[in-house]
Chains A and B, each alone.
Chain A
Amino acid sequence: MLEMVYVGNKRLIGEVIGVNDGFTTIQVYEGTTGLKPGEPVYPTGDPLSVTLGPGILSNIYDGIQRPLKSMEKLTGAFIGEGFNISALDEERLFDVTVCVKPGDKLKGGDVYATCPETSLITHKCMIPPALQGEVTFVAPDGQYHVSDVVARIRDEKGHERELTLCQKWPIRTARPVQERLPISRPLITGQRVIDTLFPVAKGGTAAIPGGFGTGKTMTQHQLAKWCDADIIVYIGCGERGNEMTQVLEEFTELIDPKSGKALTDRTVLIANTSNMPVAAREASIYTGITLAEYYRDMGYHVAIMADSTSRWAEALREISGRLEEMPAEEGFPAYLPSRLSAFYERAGYMVNLNGTNGSITIIGAVSPQGSDFSEPVTQNTKRFVRCFWALDKSLAYARHYPAINWTSSYSEYLDDLGGYYRENISPEFMKARQGISNLLMEESNLMEIVKLIGADVLPDDQKLVIEIARVIRVGFLQQNAYHADDTYVSLEKQYKMMELILLLYKKSKAAISVGITLSSIMQTGLFELLIKMKYDIPNDKLEMFDAYKEQISDKFVALSE
C-alpha cells in the first residue's frame, strides 16, 4: 500500500492506492495519454518520498518534488512525461562543517553536519529519526556534493550506515517530535487587520476563505513576503501558472527587510498549477508540509501558504470519483474531514528530537464554490483551524483590501497571545484592540438603521460612531500593498495608530456631550488627518505620533473656547 511505482514504458511516476485480490490500483502523477494495457509496472519498494537536504531553498518544485528549473532544461517550455530527476542539485558543492567526532553516540534528530544553504539559512544535516548509534568515521570539513558520504555510524545491530547530506522521508507520514508546546508567540505579519484584530500564532492554523477576486492570493503573497517566519513554503496547489511566475519574479527582486537579502533565500515554491495532473496536486500539499517539517526539525519557524486547499479537496473528489467510491456531501469523499484535519494537525510549536524549538504555521486559502461558505470544504476547515479570515465580496468590490470582513472573521489565539502583546508592545494593547473592535460592532449595528432611514436622522453621538468607524475602516483596516510604507507596518506603529483613533473618539465624544456639534468637529480636519496618517507618518518616524496627539488636543481646546 502507498508504494511508489513506475508505470509503463515511459516510466510515469505513480503510487499504489488500492490493493485487491487480483489487482492493484495505481494513481499516476502524470498524464496517461497513450498508456496501453500490457505495459510493465516497476516497483520501487519505498513509499512516495521527498529528498531532504541542502538545496531545497529558493528552488521551485512540482507536486512530487521534481525541480521545475531542471525540467525546463530537459523538456523545454512544456512539461514532459516520465522524467525522473533528482530533487536536489547533485553538482552543487556545499561548504560542510562536520560537528561530530568518531566515538560520539548519536540519536535520531542530532545534527552531524552543517552548511550554509543560502545567505540566510544554515542547513543542519540531522540523523534520520529512527536511527541511533556510534560514529565510526567522519570526513574532514570541506566542500561536498549532496550525495557524498560525510560520516558513518554503527547502529544498535552493528550495521555500518553511511550518512550523506541528504535523506528521504515519506510525505504522508509526519516527522516525529519530542513534544508539542503551548502557543504563545504571534506570527507577526505587518498587516494591521491581521496582527491587531485577528492574530495568528506561530505554530497556529488559519484559513482564508473567499470567492474569486476577493484577494486570497494577494493576502497570501503579502503574508509570504512580510511575516516573521524564518522559512516560507509556498504551495501553489491547482492555481494559476502566472501567479506562480509572479511569486518567482517578485521574490527574487524583493529584499527581506530584516536581513537585507533576497526573499527567495528563505522560500521554497511548490507549483502544481491547475493544468498539471490532478493526482500530483493531491500530493503537493503533503510534499510541502514534509519540507516544512524538515526545516522545523532544524529549529526554524516555518510558515506554509497553501493556495488553495479547495483545489486539493477537489483533487481528492476527482480521484475518489474515478475510483467509484461512495460520495458524501457535494460529491466529496467521506474521508475529506479526516484528511483535512490530518493536514492541519501537522502544524504546531514543537520541541524537536534534538531539543531545539521550531514551529509550523499553516495558512490555507479556501475557494468556496459560488462564494458560499456553507460548502463542505469551508465548513470542515472551519472546524480544524483556529483563525478564520473571511474575505468579503462587497469589500473587494469597493477595492477595500485586504478584504477581511471584521464581523465574520475570528481568531481563537487572542487569549494565548494577549500576554505577548502586553509584554512586548504595550500593556494597553489588548484594551485598545477591544475598543476598536467594539466601535466596529457598534457601527455595523447602526448601519442596519441607516440602511432603512438614512444617516441624517441619527443623533450626533451615533453619527460620531459612524464617522470614527470610517476612520478605522479606511485609515486603519485598509492597507495598501503597493505603498512603500504601508505594505508592512510594525506592531508598535499599529498600536500608536489605534491609540490616536481612540483618543480622537474620546475627545469628540466628550465634546459632543457638552453640546459641540459633530459638524464643527468634522471641520477641524482631524478625521481626514487620521485617515491619511498611514501614508503621512513614515515607519521610521514614530515620534510624529506625539505631534499628532498634541494637534488633536489643541484643536479640541480651540473648539471648546
Chain B
Amino acid sequence: MGLQFVGLKEINGSLVVLDNIPLSNPAGYEEMAEIVLEDGSKRLARVVEIEGGRVVLQVFEGTNGLSLNNTKTTLTGHPMEIPLSREILGRVFSGAGKPIDGLGDIFPEKYADINGKPLNPVTRSYPHNYIRTGISSIDGLATLIRGQKLPIFSGSGMSHNKLAVQIVRQAQIAEESGQDFAVVFAAMGVTSDVADYFKSSFEESGVLQKVVMYMNLSNDPIIERILTPRCALTAAEYLAFEHNMHILVIMTDITSYCEALREFSSSKGEIPGRKGYPGYLYSDLASMYERAGIINTAQGSVTQIPILTMPNDDITHPIPDLTGYITEGQIVLDRGLDQSGVYPPVSVLPSLSRLMKDGIGEGFTRADHSACSNQLFSCYAKVMDTRALASVIGEDELSSIDKSYMRFGQMFEKYFLSQGFHEDRTIEETLDLGWDLLSLLPKGELDRVDEKMLEKYYNPERTARFQ
C-alpha cells in the first residue's frame, strides 16, 4: 500500500484533483486510486491527467458527499483490472466489474487490464465461418460471420432488443461445432426495463447460465459507463482466447456510451469535435470494436453485436457514422417498415456485411447464395426507384415491368423480411424463398445471375403462394 493523501485540492463534477504528490512516489497515467470517506465507504477513481505534482482523478461512483477535507486517497499502483475466472459465466456485474448479484466475489484465476492491448494483425485469422441466425434478412443478405463486428443501427422505439434476443437464441441452437458458446452482455445506460427484458429472455431460452452480464443502468454513474464495454470485452477475450469459447458480445446502447464520453470529455475541458463529441471518438470506439476477431493461437472467437439508437434516425450522425467506418457492415432498421408491422424491420439497402463474401457460397452456405443476394439487392433497389416514380405519376400509369417490380417489393417485404419471433429458417429455406420471389419478375430483369443458375432456380410456378 502506497502513501495516503488526506484531503483534495479541487472537486469539479466527477473529477477531483490532488496536489503536491511527491516525485518520489509519482502517480502513473491511468492508474487506479481508492478514495476512503469518513464513514469508511470506498470509491474507485482513475488518474486521467498528471501535471507535475498535480493529479486529476476521475471518480467512478460520483463525487456526492466528497469535500476537500473528508477523504483519504490511496494510489494503487496499477491500471484498472478485473478478476477473471471461468466462474464469471452466469454472473451479473456492475459496470465497473463488481459482482452485484449477491453471490459474492469471484475467485480469480487472473487479473486483466480492461484496456486490453491491440491485436497484432499478423495473429488474426480472417473470419470465414458464418453464424446462422435463422433470420432471412440477416442470413440471406447480410450474413453474420464468426469473429465479425456487426452493429444494429436502430432508433428509439424500434425492435432492436427483440432482434438481438432472437439472434442469441437461434445462433445458440445453430451452434454445432461442439465448442462452448457463451454470451457477454454489456448494458450501458439502458433503462432497468430493457435490462430485465434481456435477463428474462435469456432465462426463457435457457442460456442464462452461459451469460455474463455487465450492467450500467441509465441512473448509474457515467464514468462507469465508459468502463462497462471494456470490462465486458476483457471478459470476452479471456473466455474466447484462454478457454476457447465462441463468444457473442451484445453491447447496448452505444449512443449512451458516446454521450457519457462527451460528458466526461467536456468536464475535462477538452476541445470538442463534431456535435460536441471529443475528437478522439473514432479512436475510442475503435479500441472497443477492434476487440472482435479470431486469432490463430486459440480456437475461440469474439463476435460483437453492438446496438445503437441513431439520434433522430439520422445515419449521418457522428455515432452511427464513425461506427460504420469501423465495424464490418451494419444492420439498419427502418422506421417505415416497423410502422407497417414488418418484423424484423431490416432496411435492406443500407444493410451490409463486409465479411459475407468470404463466408458464403459453396462449402459454407450454398453455391447460389451470392448470386441470389446480389440479385435481390439490385431488384429491391429498383423497387425503391419505382415507388418514387409511382408516388409522382400514380401506380396506374406504370409500365407492366414497373408494376411487376411493385408486386415483387410487396411480396419481398411480406414473405422474406417479415418473420415470426420464434421462426427459425434454415439457409436453404431462406435462399429458396429468395429465388421464388425473384421468379415474380420477368427473366430478362435478372441481370446479375448467369444462365445456369436461372435454369436451376427460376420458376414462376412457385410464385403462386405469394398472395
**A residues neighboring B (CB under 8 Å):** 31-38, 60, 68-69, 71-72, 75-80, 211-213, 236, 238, 240-242, 244-246, 248-249, 271, 273-276, 278, 311, 314, 317-318, 321, 324, 327, 330-331, 367, 369-372, 394, 397-400, 450-456, 474, 482, 528, 531-532, 535
Given contacts A369-B321, A528-B444, contact A213 B352 (CB under 8 A): yes
User: Does the CB pair A212–B325 fall under 8 Å?
Assistant: yes
Taking the complex as formed, is B447 at the interface, i.e. its CB lies under 8 A from any CB of chain A?
yes
A249, B296: Cα distance in complex, Å = 13
User: Does the CB pair B316–A482 fall under 8 Å?
Assistant: no
Given contacts A32-B29, A37-B52, contact A399 B321 (CB under 8 A): no
A481, B289: Cα distance in complex, Å = 28
Given contacts A238-B286, A369-B321, contact A398 B122 (CB under 8 A): no
Taking the complex as formed, is B116 at the interface, i.e. its CB lies under 8 A from any CB of chain A?
yes
Q: Which of A71, A330, A397 contacts B350 (CB 8 A)?
A: A397
A437, B374: Cα distance in complex, Å = 26
- The residues of A that contact B316 with a CB separation of less than 8 Å are 369-372
Taking the complex as formed, is B378 at the interface, i.e. its CB lies under 8 A from any CB of chain A?
yes
The smallest beta-carbon distance between B275 and chain A, in angstroms, is: 10
For residue B348, which residue of chain A has the nearest CB?
A: A397
Query: Which of B20-28, B193-201, B206-214, B252-260 has 4 or more CB atoms under 8 Å from chain A?
Result: B20-28
- The residues of A that contact B50 with a CB separation of less than 8 Å are 36-37
Q: A34-B29, A454-B389 are in contact. List 14 more A-B contacts (CB 8 A).
A: A37-B26, A241-B124, A242-B147, A246-B358, A275-B283, A275-B290, A321-B273, A331-B272, A370-B321, A399-B374, A399-B448, A453-B393, A528-B444, A528-B447
User: Does the CB pair B272–A451 fall under 8 Å?
Assistant: no
- The residues of B that contact A76 with a CB separation of less than 8 Å are 123, 297
The smallest beta-carbon distance between B51 and chain A, in angstroms, is: 8
User: Does the CB pair A274–B282 fall under 8 Å?
Assistant: yes
A311, B397: Cα distance in complex, Å = 48
A354, B382: Cα distance in complex, Å = 57
Taking the complex as formed, is B392 at the interface, i.e. its CB lies under 8 A from any CB of chain A?
yes
- The residues of B that contact A450 with a CB separation of less than 8 Å are 389
Taking the complex as formed, is B287 at the interface, i.e. its CB lies under 8 A from any CB of chain A?
yes
Query: Which of B92-100, B326-334, B431-439 has 4 or more CB atoms under 8 Å from chain A?
Result: B326-334
For residue B323, which residue of chain A has the nearest CB?
A: A212
- The residues of B that contact A370 with a CB separation of less than 8 Å are 316-318, 321
Query: B343-360 toward A: CB 8 Å interface, digit per residue (1/0)?
Result: 000000110101101100
Taking the complex as formed, is B453 at the interface, i.e. its CB lies under 8 A from any CB of chain A?
no
- The residues of B that contact A454 with a CB separation of less than 8 Å are 389, 393, 397-399, 402
In the complex, 11 of the A-B residue pairs with CB atoms within 8 angstroms, ordered by the A residue number, are: A36-B26, A60-B121, A79-B118, A241-B293, A242-B127, A242-B355, A244-B121, A249-B126, A274-B282, A321-B273, A450-B389
The smallest beta-carbon distance between B48 and chain A, in angstroms, is: 11
Given contacts A33-B79, A246-B126, A454-B398, contact A78 B283 (CB under 8 A): no
Give B357-414 interface residues, CB cut-off 8 Å to A.
Answer: 357-358, 370, 374, 377-378, 381-382, 388-389, 392-393, 397-399, 402
Q: Which of B272, B280, B290, B378 contacts A240 (CB 8 A)?
A: B290
Q: Which of B120, B127, B270, B389 contacts A79 (CB 8 A)?
A: B120
Q: Which of B115, B124, B317, B447 contacts A242 (CB 8 A)?
A: B124
A220, B446: Cα distance in complex, Å = 29
For residue B381, which residue of chain A has the nearest CB?
A: A398
Give B117-139 interface residues, CB cut-off 8 Å to A.
Answer: 117-127
Give B273-297 interface residues, CB cut-off 8 Å to A.
Answer: 273-274, 278-280, 282-283, 286-287, 289-291, 293, 295, 297
User: Does the CB pair B124–A397 fall under 8 Å?
Assistant: no
User: Does the CB pair A397–B282 fall under 8 Å?
Assistant: no
Instruction: Tell me which of B115, B298, B448 has the highest count of chain A C-beta atoms within 10 A of its own C-beta.
Output: B448
Given contacts A33-B115, A34-B30, A398-B377, contact A275 B328 (CB under 8 A): no
The smallest beta-carbon distance between B450 and chain A, in angstroms, is: 7
The smallest beta-carbon distance between A275 and chain B, in angstroms, is: 4
Instruction: Tell me which of B118, B121, B402, B447 has the highest count of chain A C-beta atoms within 10 A of its own C-beta.
Output: B121
